[in-house]
Structure 1
Amino acid sequence: MHPAKVDRQRLRRLTDLPNIGPAMAGDLRLLGIQEPAQLKGRDPYQLYEALCLRTGQRHDPCVIDVFLSVTRFMDGHEPRPWWDFTAERKARLASR
C-alpha cells in the first residue's frame, strides 16, 4: 500500500502495510509472517538474508529498503516510501 494511504488502525493483512503489495506479501509469508504484528522488532537485514536462503536466490537489495520501511513502521515510526531507506541501506552495507 502507498504510505500516504496507510491507516494504522486497520492493519489486518500484510498488504495493509506501507510499500507491501501482493508479491512482497507472498515473500513475507515465505518467511512465516502472516500478519503485520509479526514484524515488530524484526531485523530487516536478517529478513532479507532469510528470504534469499529460502528462495535460493539473491534478491534485489531494494528488498532490504522495503523491509526497513515496514519494520520501522511496525515499531511506531511514520509510514515512508521504501526509497527513503536506500541511502541508509547503502551506508550500512558499505560499512561491513
Structure 2
Amino acid sequence: MNPNKVDRNHLNKLTDLPNVGKAGAEDLRLIGIHEPSDLVGKNSYEMYEKLCEKTGMRHDPCVLDVFISVTRFMAGEDARPWWAYTEERQQVLKQKATGK
C-alpha cells in the first residue's frame, strides 16, 4: 500500500502495510509472516536472507528495503516509502562486506 494511505488502526492484512502489494505479501508469507503483527521484533536482513534461501535466488535489494520499511513501521515509526531506506541498506551491507 502507498505509505501515504496507510492507517495504523486498520492493519488487518499484509497489503495494509506500507509498500506491500500482492507480490510482497506473498514473499512475506513464504517466510512465515501471515499478518502484520508477525513482523514485530523481526530482523529485516534475516528476513531477506530467509526469502532468498527459500526461493533459491537472490532477490532485488529493493525487497530488503521494503522489509526494513515494514519492520520499522511495526516498531512504531511513521510509514515511509521503501526507497527512504535504500541508502541505509547500502551502508549496512557495505559495512558487513568490509567487516566493520
TM-score (normalizing by structure 1): 0.99
* Alpha-carbon offset, residue 32 of structure 1: 1.1
Structure exhibiting the larger radius of gyration computed from Cα positions: 2
Calculate the aligned-residue CA RMSD, in Å.
Answer: 0.4
- 1-structure distance, mates of 2:25, 2:31: 10
Structure 1, unmatched stretches of 5+, are none
Give the number of equivalent residue pairs.
96
* Alpha-carbon offset, residue 92 of structure 1: 0.4
- 1-structure distance, mates of 2:21, 2:72: 17
* Alpha-carbon offset, residue 20 of structure 1: 0.1
CA offsets 1:40-96 (integer angstroms, 9 cap, x no match): 110000000000000000001111100000000000000000000000000000011
> What is aligned with 1:4?
4
- 2-structure distance, mates of 1:42, 1:62: 18
> What is aligned with 1:74?
74
User: What stretches of structure 1 move > 4 A for 4+ residues in a row?
Assistant: none
SS at match of 1:9: coil
Code of the residue aligned with 2:38 in structure 1: it is Q
* Alpha-carbon offset, residue 36 of structure 1: 0.1
Code of the residue aligned with 1:74 in structure 2: it is M
